[in-house]
């Protein structure tokens, strides 16, 4: 979905930070765990 949207908006190579579904319904500690695992990817994507 993210790639479809970025391509449709003229940014086919936009760097994406992806995490596995789901986020909704997870207990807060698991959400924090997923967020921590994403930090490095987000930093790489925007720097």
Partner 1 sequence: MADGSRSRLFEAEDSYEALNELFHERGWTDGLPIMPPTEAAVARMLRATIRRPEETLGVLPPRQGEATVERVAINAVMAGCRPEYLPVLIAAVEAVADPAFNLDGVQATTHPVAPLIIVNGPAARRLQINSGYNCFGQGFRANAAIGRALRLTLMNVGGGLPGAGDRATQGSPAKYAYCIAENEDANPWQPLQVEKGYDRGQSTVTLFGSEGPHNIQEHLSNSGEGILLTIAGAMGQAGSNNILRHGYPLLTLGPEHAATIAADGYSKDDVKRFVWERARYPIDRLSAEFGAELYPFNEGQGGMALICERPEDITVIVAGGSGKHSSWQPTFGHHTRPVTRLIAGDGE
Using CB under 8 A as the binding rule, whether residue 18 contacts partner 1 is answered as no
- Kindly tell me which of 1 and 46 has the beta carbon lying closer to partner 1: 1
- Kindly tell me which of 10 and 36 has the beta carbon lying closer to partner 1: 10
Residue 16 in contact with residue 4, Cβ under 8 Å? Answer: no
Which of these ranges, 2-10, 11-19, 29-37, 38-46, lies near partner 1 under the rule CB under 8 A? 2-10
Burial 19-42 (b: 16+ CB within 10 A, else e): eeeeeeeeeeeeeeeeeeeeeeee
Least separation in angstroms between CB 8 and partner 1: 4
């Amino acid at each position: 979905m993210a790639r479809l949207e970025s391509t449709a908006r003229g940014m086919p190579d936009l760097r994406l930070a992806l995490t596995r579904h789901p986020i909704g319904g997870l207990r807060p500690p698991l959400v924090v765990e997923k967020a921590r695992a994403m930090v490095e990817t987000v930093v790489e994507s925007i720097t």
